[in-house]
Structure 1
Amino acid sequence: MAGKAQRSKPQRTPKVHRAVVTHTVDDFEAAFWPDESPVDNAVVMTMGALHEGHAALIRAARKQVGREGRVAVTVFVNPLQFGPSEDLERYPRTLDDDVKLAEENGADVVFAPSVDEVYPNGEPQVRLAAGPMGDRFEGATRPGHFDGVLTVVAKLLHITDPDFAFFGEKDAQQLAVIQRMVADLDFDVEVVGVPTVREEDGLALSSRNRYLSEEERSHALALSRALFAGRDVAAQGPKAVREAASAVLDGAEGVTLDYLALIDPHAFTEAADDFQGEAVLAVAAKVGSTRLIDNVRIIVR
């Protein structure tokens, strides 16, 4: 990965008590790479509006690198991954709260750049393409979304130059395409997936949950109930999994289904009827005007 051969890693210095907030690449590098001797370091990439799910990622990163390592959290609402009819302007910006959550959970540096800082030459004319993995499921509903994701992730990996990058398993397809990009393009980083964090009633944590009314939030529980129903019959095979999950969603009040899919996690394709092994049972739906995604990882017999 760019930067590894030209730059040594920092001296072992005590973990800072407050996160340093940076907005430019130069300031980030000065804060994150203050010295020369090697320590492990990690990055958690976010679009802000942080919640307990992000906190779990930051804690996992801190545990991975230890007390002497360094953890960066990026906060950047990436315009490249929003479609023309999507909620770029509506997406919540809560930087002060984000910084507080990040430092409470072990971050050393928060990198919150402007669009002009990340894309100084304007909208990039050369971008990474997610290929066939990015055309299915979320990619079919949101054309070009994963191209935008990979382009900004690649840029932020070059800027932060981490040993480890942590992403949530809730965005299963995003995690899969990032892992494939890192493998295919020889990025020198280990991508680590962290299990989905849920409310006590099963609702997966998401920055978009704040858009739900109390009634819509109740309707949204059908998504996790469907996934758990499929998981409970995983030993009976793919057909049973699909049928059990579909039975919960059929006629679910207030839910407009986009897709329900049993997915082979390696190629991120629909699992065949005779599939066995680890799989991702994924759902996407609109609840009111808010689009939600969720998934569970299961072992199909």
Structure 2
Amino acid sequence: MEILRSKEALRAYIERNREMGKIIGFAPTMGALHDGHLSLFAAARKENNLVVASIFINPTQFNNPADLHNYPRTMEADIQLLQSTGDVDALYIPAVSDMYPHGTKSKSYDFGGLENQMEGRFRTGHFDGVGTVVEELFLQVRPDNAYFGEKDYQQLRIIEHLSQSKKMGIKIHPVPIMREKNGLAMSSRNERLSSEVRQAAGMIYQTLQRVDEWFRVLSIEEIKKRVEDIFAKEKYFNLEYFVIADEQTLEETDFFYKDRSYRAFIAVYAGEIRLIDNKHLE
């Protein structure tokens, strides 16, 4: 696995492989890698001649400075993990100046309203930060295919919109959520949970599974009340939001239409640690 630590090194690497006719798959990350990330590279390996990963902790997508400060940084362990899988041909580790040559400030985007739902309501400027760094990475790596996990489903839809609206010609591939044994969606933030809270956090996904059952027989108003009641009794977790939304527009719905698909979204706090999850409703 080649390690590329500058935009210039990446450019030379990509041009060399483009000349050889390689099909390039790409998955960007912020490091602190786990099996969820590895599933992105495994998916890319099946469909591309060349797989590129990146690790960059993007400062502009953290609306909470403490969250940025506390985000786990495990670069050496990440490199060893990627090397052990054999799925990644090159790892790009850009400097902040490679991503933000004119100062660390995000662009402003119109994502067709996708950015105003759920996470956008609680994390001001978050998706402008995501869009800025993903667009820059796409321009630098120039992949044919890019892979993103469904855990950040709203982010996935926004990146699909970005690729289409900018006519970048990059196919965006969703990859299913990887879960821990208790059902907790894998996340780098899980490492900050105590073992007791981490085990108890399985109730987040268990709640979404119950929502999937209630979806067939109850009104959305009743489902929301039941979810709120569950978390009102929780000692470890505080509910930030629970939303049932249209999978395409991400707009919250108060009624089920048979010709549309829906997904349940949830965000909770375990102390100061924020956890999100979602589930397609059958």
Give me the TM-score of the superposition, normalised by structure 2: 0.92
Q: Taking structure 1 as reference, are residues 186 and 51 closer, same or farther at Cα in structure 2, changes over 3 Å only?
A: same
Q: How far apart are residue 266 of structure 1 and its match?
A: 0.6
How big is the shift at 1:166? 0.3
Matched residues in 1 for 2:110 and 2:82: separation? 31
More displaced stretch, 34-43 vs 171-180: 34-43
Deviations 1:48-85 (A, max 9, x none): 000000000110011111xxx10000100001101144
SS state at 2:205 partner: helix
2:158 alignment partner in structure 1: 177
Cross-structure match for 1:98? 78
Provide the identity percentage: 32
Distance across 2 between alignment mates of 1:127 and 1:259: 25
Over 6 Å off, 4+ runs: none
Establish whether residue 161 from structure 1 lines up as the match of residue 142 from structure 2. yes
3-state SS of paired residue (1:261): strand
Distance in 2 between residues matched to 1:29 and 1:103, nearest whole Å: 21
CA-to-aligned-CA distance 1:185-243 (integer Å, 9 cap, x gap)? 21210001100000111111000001111222133222111111112333336536545
Q: For residue 16 of structure 1, what is the aligned residue in structure 2?
A: none
8 Å CA contact 2:264, 2:280 repeated in 1: yes
- Match of 2:25? 42
Question: Are the counterparts in 2 of residues 238 and 262 from structure 1 also a CA contact under 8 Å?
Answer: no
Which residue of the other structure, out of 141, 151, 154, is the alignment partner of 2:122?
A: 141
Q: Which shifted more, 41-50 or 82-91?
A: 82-91
Q: Secondary structure at the match of 1:38?
A: coil
Going from structure 1 to structure 2, the CA distance change for 1:124 and 1:255 (only over 3 Å counts) comes to closer
Task: Map 1:161-240 to 2 at 5 A.
Answer: 161-236=142-217, 239=220
Whole-Å Cα distance in 2 between the matches of residues 238 and 181 of structure 1?
Answer: 34
Which of 75, 88, 99 is residue 107 of structure 1 equivalent to? 88
Cα distance, 1:248 vs structure 2: 3.4
- 2:16 maps to a residue whose letter is P
The answer (yes or no) to whether the contact 2:147–2:173 under 8 Å persists in 1 is: yes
Uncovered stretches (5+) of structure 2, i.e. residues with no partner:
none
CA distance in 2, matches of 1:184, 1:237: 38
Q: When you count helix as a share of all residues, which structure comes out higher?
A: 2
Give 1:249 shift: 2.8
Cα displacement (A) at 1:250: 3.5
Name the CA distance, whole Å, in 1 between partners of 2:192 and 2:7.
32
**How far has the Cα of 1:127 moved from its partner?**
3.9
Question: Could you tell me how far apart the structure 1 residues matched to 2:156 and 2:106 are?
Answer: 24
Q: Which moved more, 1:118-127 or 1:131-140?
A: 118-127
User: Does residue 74 of structure 1 match 2:57?
Assistant: no
Match of 2:34 in 1: 51
Where do 5+ consecutive residues of structure 1 fail to align?
1-18
| In 1, Cα distance between equivalents of 2:165 and 2:219 | 30
**C-alpha separation in 2, matches of 1:185 and 1:121:** 21
Residue type matched to 1:104 in 2?
A: S
Offset at residue 268 of structure 1 (A): 0.8
Amino acid at match of 1:159: Q
Q: What root-mean-square deviation, in Å, do the aligned CA atoms of Structure 1 and Structure 2 show?
A: 1.8
Aligned to 1:25: 7
Report if the CA contact (8 A) 1:32-1:70 is conserved. Answer: no
| 8 A contact 1:44–1:167 mirrored in 2 | yes
Which deviates the most, 19-28 or 94-103?
94-103
**Contact 1:32/1:72, CA 8 A, preserved across alignment:** no
Q: After superposing the two structures, state which structure 1 stretch, 73-82 or 229-238, moved more.
A: 229-238
One-letter identity of the residue aligned with 1:50: L
**In 2, Cα distance between the equivalents of 1:64 and 1:39?**
11
1:14 is matched with: none
Match runs of 1:263-274 below 5 Å: 263-274=245-256
Residue 60 in 1 paired to residue 36 in 2? no
